[in-house]
Amino acid sequence: MNSAERNFSITELQDSAIPGIAAQYEELTRQKRSEDQILNTLAGQGIFAPPNIRGPAWQWIKDAIEAMKGRTLVKDLGNFTAPLTWLTLDIPYQSRASLEWKTEASRGGEFSLRLLGSGFGGGRSISWSVTQAIQERDSRVVFMRDVITNVKLYKIRDANAQESMQVETSVVGRGPVRLVSEKNPTATSIDELDPSLYDIDYGKALDLTAYDVPFSQTDTYSIDKSLSLTIGVAEGVLPAGLSAEINAELGSHGSCEVVWQFAPRFIHQPYWKKRGNSLLPLWGIRRAVR
């Protein structure tokens, strides 16, 4: 256990499987249901469709049934563990910070993950609350949770007898929450960030170039957000041209208070990557304008 974990505590609130369409189709087939009965049953259960699907869910279910009738398992590639970062406490350059949860002392900050497999695989719904503080520190701490995913490779034959390969991922478990201490890298120069690579929201910069002692500031951050993430798994294992991934919807509720101890002589710039999962600000350095 590293120093970031010693005074940290979580409470698991929920952990339940989300059945995939493949598992439900196989069960209904074993029950010798007709195709129309299977379609009506699956559509009536409000089964989830992949996030990139457009149009009515029942049409996707109908197409999925047709595809599953003509597929064969090529190989079960086994289970893979992938880390998911759900919060990062970044530390300004040469500075320090501490964090305390401010919402409902008995519950703290609440987080949830809706994990959806790809292909016709299943998912998982989990949630937890955080109650204890992160003591003052001078290095970044990353809050992580491992996601365990099974990956299968299928051969599918369409209505025109054309064959293709399909990767199916199913979320089958999760690991404990992990806190990882990371030494902060060399100061990020905000002025040198390529705007074509980063879609960034900037906060208000703190100019301490004329200051000669550390400056203390307390900020309260709402974490009431919902973020969509894609997690790659089984990299380097699949045949060329194929990839495996799961989709994650990260929800968070509550607020936290961060006490910053900023180093003098710098312009500290907070920023958020719009396509990232940074609920709290990341930090960089700006040049002084002369």
Q: What is the pLDDT of residues 56-85, one digit of tens each?
A: 666 777 777 778 887 899 999 999 999 998
Which ranges of the chain does DSSP label H, i.e. alpha helix?
21-30, 35-44, 57-69
CA–CA separation, 204 and 208 (whole Å): 13
| Closest of 134, 144, 3 to residue 87, by C-alpha | 144
Strand partners, 97: 137, 260
> What pLDDT does 131 receive?
81
**Alpha-carbon distances of 53 from 11, 26, 60, 119, 243, rounded to whole Å:** 34, 22, 8, 12, 18
**Alpha-carbon distances of 208 from 20, 91, 211, 213, 283, rounded to whole Å:** 54, 16, 5, 9, 14
Q: What is the pLDDT of residues 197-222, one digit of tens each?
A: 667 888 999 999 999 999 999 999 98
- Reading the block at residue 113, the tokens are 């993950």
**Residue 29: strand, helix, or coil:** helix
Residue with structure tokens 């929201």?
A: 201
Query: pTM to 2 decimals?
Result: 0.79
Grade residue 167 by pLDDT with cuts at 50, 70 and 90: very high
Q: What is the pLDDT of residues 113-150, one digit of tens each?
A: 999 998 889 999 999 988 878 999 999 999 999 999 99
The per-residue DSSP string of 33-88 comes to --HHHHHHHHHHTT----TT--S-HHHHHHHHHHHHHTEEEEEEEEEEEEEEEEEE
Residue with structure tokens 């109908």?
A: 62
Domain segments of the chain as ranges: 10-17+72-286
- Over residues 223-250, the mean pLDDT reads 89
Q: What is the pLDDT of residues 13-43, one digit of tens each?
A: 999 998 888 888 888 888 888 877 877 777 7
> What pLDDT does 184 receive?
67
Residue with structure tokens 């900020």?
A: 219
CA–CA separation, 236 and 77 (whole Å): 12
